[in-house]
Each structure stands twice: as structure tokens, then as C-alpha cells.
Amino acid sequence: MVSTDRTGLIIAANESAKRLLGLEPEDRLEGKLVTDAIAIKEGDFSKWYQDALHAVDLKRPPSILPRSHSHKY
């Protein structure tokens, strides 16, 4: 697992993520940009990541129900 803030800085990474990235457990990912830490052979990870950070779900309208009518699921 790799967790980032909204700017893409890694704030936490577990040992499994480090192992998958070919790193040693003592290597630090925290403070690095996720787009610098993760490279893939095909495709544009940096673009995909930026698109995900700024995604808007156009298929789902925003919830505008008054609080008294909201439902818990």
C-alpha cells in the first residue's frame, strides 16, 4: 500500500509495496512524488495518476438532498 496526499507526495508505504517496487524495507518512499517512485513499462502512469487526483464522476449527479432526507447505506 502506498498512500499519498493530494499533491502526490507519498505519506506512507508498507513493506509489501516496497518489495513490489524492488526496494529494501529500510528504503524510504515517504516525501517522494509517487510519479517518481512508480514506473511502468507501458502507458503514462503520471497522467493516469493526475487524472485520478482530479477526477469528476460525470455519470453521478451531486447529492443535493436536504439533510433531513438523506439516507444511510
The contacts of residue 31 (CB under 8 Å, 6+ apart) are 9, 10
The contacts of residue 18 (CB under 8 Å, 6+ apart) are 24, 25, 27, 29
Indicate the pTM of the whole model. Answer: 0.64
Sorted by where each begins, the domain ranges of the chain are 2-54
Which residues of 1-73 form beta strands (DSSP E)? 2-4, 10-13
| Cα angle for residues 27, 31, 32 (degrees, 5° grid) | 75
Which residues of 5-50 form beta strands (DSSP E)? 10-13
Please give the grid coordinates belonging to residue 66. Answer: 436536504
Q: What is the pLDDT of residues 31-73, one digit of tens each?
A: 999 888 887 788 888 888 888 877 766 566 655 555 544 444 4
